[in-house]
Structures are given as C-alpha cells and as structure tokens.
Amino acid sequence: MSEITGKNYIGFEPSAAGDNRFQTFNPQENAANPWEFVEASEKEIDQAVGMAAAAFPSFKTLPGKRRAEFLRAISDEIEALGDALIQTYMLESGLPEGRAKGERGRTMGQLRAFADLIEEGSWVEAVIDTAQPDRTPVPKPDLRKISVPIGPIAVFGSSNFPLAYSTAGGDTASALAAGCPVVVKSHPMHAATGELVASAIVKAAQRTQMPEGVFSNLNSSGIEVGQQLVKHPEIKGVGFTGSIKAGTALYRLAAQREEPIPVFAEMGSINPVISLPGALAEKGEWWAEQYANSVALGVGQFCTNPGLILGLESEALEAFTQILGKELCAKDPACMLHPKILENYQEGSAQMSGKSGTQLVAEYNGSLPPNTPAARVMRVNGTTFLEEPALQHEVFGPFTLVVACEDEKELITVINSLGGQLTGTLLAAATEINQHPEVVSALQQKVGRLIFNGVPTGVEVCPAMQHGGPFPASTDSRFTAVGTLSIRRWVRPVSYQNWPQDQLPPELQDKNPMGLLRLVNGEATREPI
C-alpha cells in the first residue's frame, strides 16, 4: 500500500504543512492502520479555497461537454485504482469486498450519470420569453433564464459510505457537474480511501486539462478543518452527509456568516414503517424476514435503516415482532465502521432500554468479535412512545423499535409526533391502503420518499429519486442529495434581458445549437426560435 502518502491535495499538489497527525483504524483487526495522515493547516485550507475561487471563472464557462469529459475521466481513474482501492476501503471500514465493489460501481455510475446529464444540457432549465415590442402600455423585453453555478463548494465526506457519499461521491459529482469547484473535507475514518480517490480526481483533472483548484482534498481529524471551510468567505455552499448534531451545527454556522450560504446536510432518519393489519395477516412472517434483512444490511449503518416499525396492538404484530427479533439475531454479527460508532450504538440502545415502558424483544447473545454490535429489537406501546421524545433518537446500527399503537387514532398521533424522515414505508394488503387516507397523508407530510410494500434500504440513483426530507432528515427538504436533480443545490438562475444573440450562452440562443428542451413562451420545445 505504498501509494498512501498521508498528504492533502491542495489543487494538484500533495501538501503536508500541518502539525497534527492521525491514523485510521481497522475495525476487523481492532488496530490502527499503518499510514499517518497530516491534517490540513489553516494556511492550506485557505490556499485550497483561494485556488477554487480562482478556478471558478474559467471552470464555470467550460462547455458541459468538457466537464463531462472530466467526470468520466474521474470514473475511469477510480476504476484504474483497481484492487488497491478495494483493499484500502476494506481496511478502513471493516466492510466486505462485495460491498466495496458495489459502492465503487455506484460511485462511478453517479459520475457517468452526471456526465450524461451535462453533455445533453437541458438540465440548465433554459426559459425564454421573447420580446413584445408593441405591447402597451410598455413593451415587453426579451428575457432568457439559465442556471449558473454558485461558486466553490465544501463537501464533507460521510462515515458510512467511504466512496458513494465521500470524496468523489454524489455531492462532489453534482457540484463539479454544475461548474462549481469542490474542496473536500475527507472523513477521518477513511482518509486513505479518500486520498486514493482524490489522486484519481487530480489525475483526471490534469488529463482533461481542468484549471488547477477545481478540486482539493483536505485531511481532518476533528471539527476545526470543517468549521474553517464553512466560514471561508469564498465558499459559497456546503454538502454534508452525517449526524443531525454536526449537520445542524454547520447549517447554523453558515447562517451566521457575514454572507450566509446554503448548507445541504443529509442527516439522521429512523425511517418509520407502518405495518397495517392486513399486511401482517397476509404475510407477517415474510415481512419479518425482509425486515430482519433490511435492519441488518451494512450492519445497520445506513441512513435509510428502518429504525421504527409502527403497528396496531394485535397478535399478528406480536408474532411479527417475535419473528423479526429471532431472524435478526440469527444473523452472523459483523463489525461496525469504527469503535466510536460501536460506542454510539451501545449508548443509544442502552438509553432506549433505560426508558421505562420499553421491552427487549431479542438481542444477539453469541460471542462478539471486536467492534461488533449485538443486534437488538425492542418494543414499546404508543402511549409511552408519545411521552418520551428520546425514543425517536436514531440508534445507528442493527437496531429497530416496534411501537404497538392501541388504535388508528394513536397511530396517526404517533406519525404526527415524528420529526422529518428520509423515508416512510407502508405495508398494506391490496385493499387496505385506500381505507387509511389519514395515515398516508400524515406519513407523506413527514417524509421525502414513500415506499409501498418494500423496505427503505436501497436508494436508486435516478431522476425520480428524492433523498432528503423535512428537518432533521435534511436541512433543506426542497432539494435531493441523490439523483441527477441534486445538481440543483449548486446553481442559481440568471436572466439575460435584451442581451445580444451572439453574446448569449449557446443554451439561450435562438437557433438552439445544442437542441435542448427549453420553455419558450410557456411551451416546452426543442425547436429553434
């Protein structure tokens, strides 16, 4: 693994001017990994952001086709890292090879999807209203609107997706696609994986002749690097995936700046699942097995993990709960990403157990390798759940809480009491869904994605995906963190009034040289004017 230098990338150059050093951790071996990383210094952070700001004017004016080359080159260079990347990923996350390869594929797929999007070009949402010089009392001017990038973006890598939501993940891919330079704050738990991916991005930028400063990668061991980044006057937006506490703190920090900037933080979620009686009567056992799999997936370290299952007090719910517990605890345990994550899991589930009225349904009781959690299913009745807001806290890991409500009214009250969520799932028999319109309406108000008879884990990357929900699922529910429309987080509209044809961006010219879908005088069309 001689590739790992422990250095930052400030623009295209490796740099290690700081004094703070740190290591990553191998949770399988329960030991530090061999490499030493140098945290970015204040000066390096300032340099990286300054270079990003300097690169912005030329990067933003590159045609989509050129930026698409860059994104595809990143995908190629990530692939070219080959097994070194997969091995490093596994050493830093404890996750299995299949997951590593799957996540790499997803990361490359995202980059290519954004390349396709910006090469085609209609994503800029060109809107044209032509002049009416004879209108009375005043002539109507010619107005043409297009999306333009907002400026350098700070991206915070996530702990639980070392590739797909990190250095070259969805935030970076969408920001670069939009024309925004990116400064990544690498996640301290997988700095080596981050460095390898950063090297791929730098190679791709050089190979496709992007301006230096379009990308930098900063090592960090604590919160200081991220805070400095968010406060830097030349940073114009922030992408973040992580905890409610950290994401909200960054959001508030950004709002206190002299120039406030948007922070898109994708944070916690307990992803409520409503199990209606008909679904449990028809195939309660099957659903219990599906949910044991979903809760256990990735050792429960997913933002879409189903942490809350709501139902009506009944024998069917009780039977479902017992099978869920049995099936979940029958699975081979696996280690978590980091001892700290295990510690949080232990604390979180202990807090649940400590609340009066909660009951342990099942707990894994075999021997546990290092950094490995005991999966748990707990239950509580609706009244207790409503009385104790702490039962809504996310327990990040293989844990779920079943809430037995006494009737539909209490079920709706419970749904209304929830914070915002990434997803909400409805398990229902075919004829059952239209009998509970208030349940569906209440659930819709709380979530970004509604799932019918399925599990919330598994986030498809496609235009119709919404990954982001009302606070605290995310800080701005008007945007998605996954899918091609996530590019909208990093752009703002600019209108050109009576601007000369030959000086307009090609996307807005009468002849429509790129053949874009545009809104022209209220009609969507690919025709020239």
Give how many residues touch a copy of itself by CB under 8 A: 76
Considering only residues 22 to 81 of the shown chain, the ones binding a copy of itself according to CB under 8 A are 57, 61
* Candidates 67-75, 174-182, 204-212, 519-527; binding stretch for a copy of itself (CB under 8 A): 519-527
Identify the active-site residue in 77, 103, 303, 410. 303
* Amino acid residing at 297: L
- What are the φ/ψ torsions at residue 204 (nearest 5 degrees)? -65, -40
CB of 165 to a copy of itself, least distance (A): 18
Q: Is residue 144 involved in binding a copy of itself (CB under 8 A)? A: yes
262 binds a copy of itself (CB under 8 A): yes
Tell me the window of 70-78, 135-143, 216-224, 354-362 that interacts with a copy of itself (CB under 8 A): 135-143
Contact window for a copy of itself (CB under 8 A) among 148-156, 169-177, 347-355, 375-383:
148-156
Nearest approach, Cβ of 267 to a copy of itself (angstroms)? 11
Q: Which of 266, 394, 410, 507 is catalytic?
A: 266
DSSP sequence for 173-232: HHHHHHT--EEEE--GGGHHHHHHHHHHHHHHHHHTTPPTTSEEEE--SSSHHHHHHHH-
Encode 172-206: b = buried (16+ Cβ within 10 Å), e = exposed.
Answer: bbbbbbbbbbbbbbbbbbbbbbbbbbbbbbbbbbe
Binds a copy of itself (CB under 8 A): choice among 19, 134, 502, 527: 502
For a copy of itself, the binding residue among 84, 143, 246, 249 (CB under 8 A) is 143
CB of 493 to a copy of itself, least distance (A): 4
Give the three-class secondary structure for 43.
helix
Q: Per CB under 8 A, which of residues 241..260 are in contact with a copy of itself?
A: 248, 251-252, 255-256, 259-260
**Which of the ranges 142-150, 165-173, 291-299, 375-383 carries the binding residues for a copy of itself, by CB under 8 A?**
142-150
Binding status of residue 498 toward a copy of itself by CB under 8 A: yes
- Would you give the binding string for a copy of itself spanning residues 114-133, x where CB under 8 A is met? --------x----xxx----
In sequence order, what are the residues at sequence separation of 6 or more whose Cβ sits closer than 8 angstroms to the Cβ of residue 102? none
Considering only 45, 51, 150, 317, the residue that binds a copy of itself (CB under 8 A) is 150
Could you confirm whether 266 is annotated as catalytic?
yes
Is residue 517 a contact residue for a copy of itself (CB under 8 A)?
A: yes
User: Rounded to 5 degrees, what are φ and ψ at 127?
Assistant: -125, 125
Q: Which of residues 323-362 bind a copy of itself (CB under 8 A)?
A: none
CA triplet 299, 304, 305: central angle to 5 degrees?
40
* Minimal distance, residue 376 CB to a copy of itself, in Å: 27
For residue 14, the minimal CB distance to a copy of itself (Å) is 31
Coil/strand/helix, residue 155: strand
- The shares of helix, strand and coil residues in the chain, as percent rounded to the nearest 5, are 45, 20, 40
Does 488 contact a copy of itself by CB under 8 A?
yes
Q: Which stretch binds a copy of itself (CB under 8 A): 158-166, 304-312, 399-407, 426-434?
A: 426-434
Smallest gap from residue 495 Cβ to a copy of itself (A): 4
Rounded to 10 deg, the angle between the 224-231 and 42-61 helix axes is 40
User: Is 501 one of the binding residues for a copy of itself (CB under 8 A)?
Assistant: no
Q: Does 393 bind a copy of itself (CB under 8 A)?
A: no
Cα 344 to chain centroid distance, Å, stands at 20
Site membership for a copy of itself, residue 434 (CB under 8 A): yes
Query: From the CB of 201, what's the least distance to a copy of itself, in Å?
Result: 24
Q: Is 148 helix (H, G, I), strand (E, B) or coil?
A: strand
- Under a CB-based contact definition with an 8 Å cutoff, are residues 377 and 324 in contact? yes
Residue 450, C-beta contacts closer than 8 angstroms, at least 6 positions apart: 423, 424, 425, 426, 440, 443, 444
Residues between 445 and 484 with contacts to a copy of itself, criterion CB under 8 A: 445, 447-454, 458, 460, 462-466, 468, 470-472, 475-478, 480
User: What is the CA 488 to chain-centroid distance, rounded?
Assistant: 14
Binding mask 163-202 for a copy of itself (x = CB under 8 A): ----------------------------------------
Whole-number Å distance between alpha carbons of 301 and 407: 32
Residue pair 495/464 in contact (Cβ under 8 Å)? The answer is: no
DSSP 8-state assignment for residue 372 = -
Q: How far apart are alpha carbons 60 and 479 in whole angstroms? A: 21
256 contacts 382 by C-beta, under 8 angstroms: no
Give 160 or 425: the residue with its C-beta nearer to a copy of itself: 425
Which segment (42-50, 144-152, 213-221, 371-379) binds a copy of itself by CB under 8 A? Answer: 144-152
363 binds a copy of itself (CB under 8 A): no
43, 245, 409, 492: which one binds a copy of itself (CB under 8 A):
492
Q: Which is nearer to a copy of itself, 50 or 141 (CB)?
A: 141
CA dihedral over 460, 464, 468, 470, signed as positive or negative = negative
The span from the CA of 399 to the CA of 462, in Å, is 29
Report helix, strand or coil for 503: helix
List the one residue from 289, 429, 496, 529 that touches a copy of itself (CB under 8 A). Answer: 496
User: Residues of 308-347 as b/e, b for ≥16 C-beta within 10 angstroms?
Assistant: bbbbbeeebbbebbbbbbebbbeeebbbbbbeebbebbee
| Positions marked active-site | 266, 303
